[in-house]
A and B are shown apart, each in its own frame.
Chain A
Amino acid sequence: MLRMPRFEVSCPESLPEALALLAESELDTRVMAGGTDLLVALKNRLEVPQRVVSLARVGGLDHVTEQEGSLAIGARVTLAQLGASDLVRRLAPALGEAARSVASPQVRQVATIGGNALLSTRCRYYNQSHFWRKALGFCLKKDGTLCHVVEGGKKCVAAASGDTAPALLTLGARVTLESQHGVRALPLLDLYRNDGIANTVLRPDELLTELVVPAQRPGHRGAYEKLRVREAIDYPLLGVAVRLDVDPDSAVVTDVDVVLTALQAKPRRVARIDSLIVGVPIHGEAFEAAAAQLGLRARDQCHPVANVPGDPEYRRKLVPVLVRRALLRAAGAA
């Protein structure tokens, strides 16, 4: 079994206590929610903190509540809870699908939405044991000076790999970050940076406490498609979330949003797609043609690199397929 490095563990009983611990800057500290990502990182010596602050006993972070169609989700809500929630199924179907696609039932039982939103980027050259990375000569993201994905690259292009982020982005989610210095609320999109090493703007003294999914329009539909080797466990090799707003009376598309993940460090919103599909009725061949067009446009904006396992060219070929399928499924799931 892989051993963990030695570190101190703190289990604060309240949010203020947790924030106080994070404010102490002498110890290099990591936050642990479900630990399903952090523990693996510790074992692989990707993280070697002096202290781990566990959120296990911090109350007030595990609510899923609705207010006028808007969803408030505590950061410590598990993916199993989210995946099984009727509120989520009804108000944010893509988020439910994405949550259910993560890892395996056992992992989802402890994995949290906060941890998923803050998941570090992944790379085949980085998410490996210490021995393996040392044999490789390490890389830019940790302990090294080279990037093995992009020859001569000066920037880490490890892939955003959380499944829920693209769904949350299509839903226009906002996040609440708290520290002893106060509360920040920002659009989820602004939480992310396109940098594989530091992919969020979260400060070390901050906690993510809540995610808010604003009320969607009456004819809201959504879907999440995921490319992976196995039907469970695997991280996305490509993830596609779509939001489709449909006029309830005319069944015509009024708005669309498509966000892809597992390509680069930040999930990617596909640009210039409204004109392809807005105004098209969701039943019929015109929609299918529009969905296919949209898929091709998405592909033209994507340039997968060999950061996650598998052939990047294959992932590129799959972009239009997954985009079209997600749109068709969203349209059909009335």
Chain B
Amino acid sequence: MAARDRHGSGPPFGDVFKVVGTSARKVDGMAKATGEAVFTDDITLPGMLHAKTLRSPHAHARIVAIDTTRAAALPGVRAVITGRDLPGRFGVLPWTQDETALALEKVRFVGEPVAAVAAVDEDTAIDALELIRIEYELLTPHFDPLDALRDDAAPIHDTRERNVSKNVLLEFGDVNAEFARADVVIDEHYSFHGTTHAAIEPHCALARLGADGVLTLYSSTQITHYVQRTVAKVLELPEHLVRVIQPCVGGGFGGKSDPFSLELCVCKLACITGRPVKMLYDREEVFYTHRGRHPMQMHFRTAATREGKLLALDARTVLDGGAYSSFGLVTTYYSGQLLAGPYALDALRFDSTRVFTNKPPCGPKRGHGAVQPRFAFEVQLDELATRLDLDPIELRRRGALPAYTETLNGQRITSNGLLACLTAVERASEWRVRRGRLPFGVGLGVAASMYISGTNYPVYPNEMPQAGIVLEANRSGLVTVLTGSNDIGQGASTIVRMLVAEELGLALDQVRVVAADTDLCPVDLGAYSSRVTFMVGNAAIDACRKLRAKLTSALAAHWETFEGDIVLSEGEAFDRKEPTRRLSLKEAIAIAEAKYDTLATAGSYNTPKLGGAYRGGTIGASPSYSFTAHVAEVRVDDETGRITCEHLYVAHDCGRALNPMLVAGQMDGSAYMGAAEALMEDHDVDERGLHRGPSLLDYPIPTALDVPGLSSLIVESIDPEGPYGAKEAGEGPLHPAVPAIANAVYDAVGVRLRHLPFTPARVLAELEQQRAALEGRRARC
């Protein structure tokens, strides 16, 4: 099947790329800089109503009665809905559909949507919310996952006997035997806290029911296709009458990859009122919508030989899932599956349990499910290096998996630039002369990781392509690309444009990308799991090859020469053998259109069959993996406990940098996001279940002054599976940031940080303990 063909990693004509490898501007860069870009909230339709959501003030309660009569009677109010109006269950994964648009029988966290009002303006809608009367019967909430796991804990979901959302226990190799023959065992507990995405654009949705019966939804989503399916399911409409359009999105980071309450509510309200309805979340509501990083409690044991050869890893993890499943089933697998690399192990066992608690639901955040265990393992490796008196980079080098191999849990590795990444950060940070030799308070730390370039596992099982592209070559000289993929600021449409320009020899402005409109575009599964450049890129090349064949064969006939001699480059077509034969691509398209009729082709991509032959073996299996290494340089103020991350040296193997500026942008953004999680962010609730500060004042994300110096060192390993050899760059570069900082703190002040976040108060307490221990030792001498 053409969709699974590899396209080769070289340039399509001759041996130099014309577009690929340049730092071409983003398609929407200028529009965003000038304010011309249209985000969902910028859209206003005639007669549009505004909607607001009423939220639960309780963490766990049964809804006894709801009275909306006073709200509905308020002048200006057009419709009020509650859970009963939208009872259909949904969830991004077909196996765990435990959400409803508005709470039905129960509320499960503070901030959960309970009712929605559409009114002539926002103020009226807000006033109406105050008039809705809800009678609750309070239930005991669970905020601590271990508490929720107790046998006598009342289930948060009545359909489940216990609060276990998912348990995965997998063992590869003989873990006990490896531990029995180990020279060294490091056995420690680690914990990762909750963090959220904090994308700059809050969620917004606008729906309109047309006179033609088509329900159109504009939404700030990163997964148009799943939203379309969910809207159709919950509103009981045929899928073809639901059109979902994603306007410009101001960042997602995984926080917009579930179908959400607001999307379903505006659709329902539009159907009831017959008028367009918009809902824009405020920042506080975004915090309740969450789907951020799962807090994890991790008990990790690593076995190794005296020489530092890694034998086995035994990982037990409790994931705090919050109130709903979301992507949690996959998260639970990811918390262990991705530990099988980037180092060779003889045995791996992981036992991961995701638990429901009465908190905003967790989900996928950049580096989904793998960032937390990576933190624990990379700190554990540092502890091992210390124990064995080995250089931590050397330890990692010795353990690194080779290229073109298989991990012990059956993941196929193709290209692998890990060693090059380690060397790049080692050099850039002057590791050899500086590490361990810096003054007290300053230190260097290393960590490495690997991550998927998409997964071969669509969220609903099917045999159809994961990415589709349609191209139309117009006699105006324009090629229009239709792609279902979601550009959420990461540059998806820019990459598609570059690939098409490269393949067809067009100038960039001759390629226009129309994206993320389910009426116009073939299906793409959306912007998650770092799949877009890889999969959509491959689909684009597939479609281009078909169109190119028409162009070159028409020109060959026109010039009476061989197809193989036709070159398409920089807006022109010419005959390699006789370069005086030269036409603009506009003319070339006209010749081909005359010969073949209207010029359009479709391309697609699907992953090869991958993954281990065991239950869950395909989760975490990717057509290719990216590799990353970080060295962090920190300064620790031993009087205040404050850690300043002075610099992050980030080396990332992205296969091929199709656009180095975009790759570096992703690396910078990832590294900074990781550093922020380590040092300041904390998404948590208090003993009542109230969020500790659902605002960008109380949930601190770094200001320009708090961002470390960043060196983004691109490593290219040219992967056989990706478009022209490219792999992902959007999530992988985050993972090592957190453990690299922890390890650098150890180098700086000798304190081992195993529990996040590294707040000054915690660091100071650790330093005090260390001082007390030292003094105690001195006193005993």
Interface residues of A (CB under 8 A from B): 1-3, 6, 104, 124, 127-129, 131-132, 134-136, 227, 229-235, 309-311, 313-314, 317-318, 321
Q: How far is the CA of A309 from the CA of B686 in the complex (A)?
A: 12
Other contacts beyond A2-B284, A128-B694, A321-B639: 12, CB < 8 A: A2-B283, A6-B123, A128-B693, A136-B688, A229-B700, A230-B680, A232-B704, A234-B700, A309-B692, A310-B759, A313-B761, A314-B760
Contact of A135 among B110, B202, B702, B760 (CB under 8 A): B110
Asked whether any CB of chain A lies closer than 8 Å to the CB of B509, the reply is: no
- With A131-B55, A314-B760, A314-B764 given, is the CB distance from A136 to B700 under 8 Å? no
Say whether A229 contacts B680, CB under 8 Å: yes
Q: How far is the CA of A250 from the CA of B657 in the complex (A)?
A: 65
A-contact bits for B678-707, CB 8 A (1 contact / 0 none):
001000000010111111011010111110
* A132 neighbours in B (Cβ, 8 Å): 284, 690-691, 694
- Chain B interface helix/strand/loop/mixed: loop
CB-defined A-B contacts under 8 Å, sample of 7: A104-B703, A129-B282, A129-B694, A129-B695, A231-B703, A232-B705, A309-B692
- With A230-B680, A230-B700, A230-B702 given, is the CB distance from A317 to B688 under 8 Å? no
* A318 neighbours in B (Cβ, 8 Å): 640
* B706 neighbours in A (Cβ, 8 Å): 230-232
Tally of B interface residues using CB under 8 Å? 35
Q: How far is the CA of A127 from the CA of B692 in the complex (A)?
A: 12
The residue on B at minimum CB distance from A321 is: B639
Q: How far is the CA of A227 from the CA of B641 in the complex (A)?
A: 12
What distance in Å separates the Cβ of A268 from its nearest Cβ neighbour in chain B?
A: 20
* B764 neighbours in A (Cβ, 8 Å): 314, 317
What distance in Å separates the Cβ of A305 from its nearest Cβ neighbour in chain B?
A: 15
Asked whether any CB of chain A lies closer than 8 Å to the CB of B105, the reply is: no
- With A134-B57, A321-B639 given, is the CB distance from A231 to B280 under 8 Å? no
Asked whether any CB of chain A lies closer than 8 Å to the CB of B116, the reply is: no
- With A232-B705, A309-B698 given, is the CB distance from A135 to B690 under 8 Å? yes
Q: How far is the CA of A129 from the CA of B704 in the complex (A)?
A: 27
Q: How far is the CA of A1 from the CA of B680 in the complex (A)?
A: 25
The residue on B at minimum CB distance from A324 is: B639
The residue on B at minimum CB distance from A229 is: B700
What distance in Å separates the Cβ of B483 from its nearest Cβ neighbour in chain A?
A: 31
Say whether B703 contacts A2, CB under 8 Å: no
* B202 neighbours in A (Cβ, 8 Å): 1
Say whether B55 contacts A3, CB under 8 Å: no
Say whether B690 contacts A136, CB under 8 Å: yes
Say whether A3 contacts B123, CB under 8 Å: yes
Contact of B57 among A135, A229, A230, A311 (CB under 8 A): A135
* A129 neighbours in B (Cβ, 8 Å): 282, 284, 694-695
* A6 neighbours in B (Cβ, 8 Å): 123
What distance in Å separates the Cβ of A109 from its nearest Cβ neighbour in chain B?
A: 16
* A311 neighbours in B (Cβ, 8 Å): 761
* A135 neighbours in B (Cβ, 8 Å): 57-58, 110, 688, 690
What distance in Å separates the Cβ of B205 from its nearest Cβ neighbour in chain A?
A: 15
What are the nearest 5 A-B pairs in CB distance?
Answer: A135-B57, A231-B705, A314-B761, A232-B703, A311-B761
Contact of B705 among A2, A3, A230 (CB under 8 A): A230
Contact of B640 among A1, A136, A231, A321 (CB under 8 A): A321
The residue on B at minimum CB distance from A322 is: B640
Asked whether any CB of chain A lies closer than 8 Å to the CB of B126, the reply is: yes
Say whether A230 contacts B761, CB under 8 Å: no
Asked whether any CB of chain A lies closer than 8 Å to the CB of B472, the reply is: no
Asked whether any CB of chain A lies closer than 8 Å to the CB of B570, the reply is: no
Q: How far is the CA of A104 from the CA of B697 in the complex (A)?
A: 12
Q: How far is the CA of A180 from the CA of B697 in the complex (A)?
A: 38
A-contact bits for B579-609, CB 8 A (1 contact / 0 none):
0000000000000000000000000000000
Say whether B284 contacts A131, CB under 8 Å: yes
Near A by CB (< 8 A), chain B positions 625-665 give 639-641
Asked whether any CB of chain A lies closer than 8 Å to the CB of B766, the reply is: no
What distance in Å separates the Cβ of A271 from its nearest Cβ neighbour in chain B?
A: 24
* A233 neighbours in B (Cβ, 8 Å): 697, 700, 703
Asked whether any CB of chain A lies closer than 8 Å to the CB of B383, the reply is: no
The residue on B at minimum CB distance from A43 is: B282
Say whether B761 contacts A310, CB under 8 Å: yes
* B704 neighbours in A (Cβ, 8 Å): 232
A-contact bits for B742-772, CB 8 A (1 contact / 0 none):
0000000000000000011100100000000
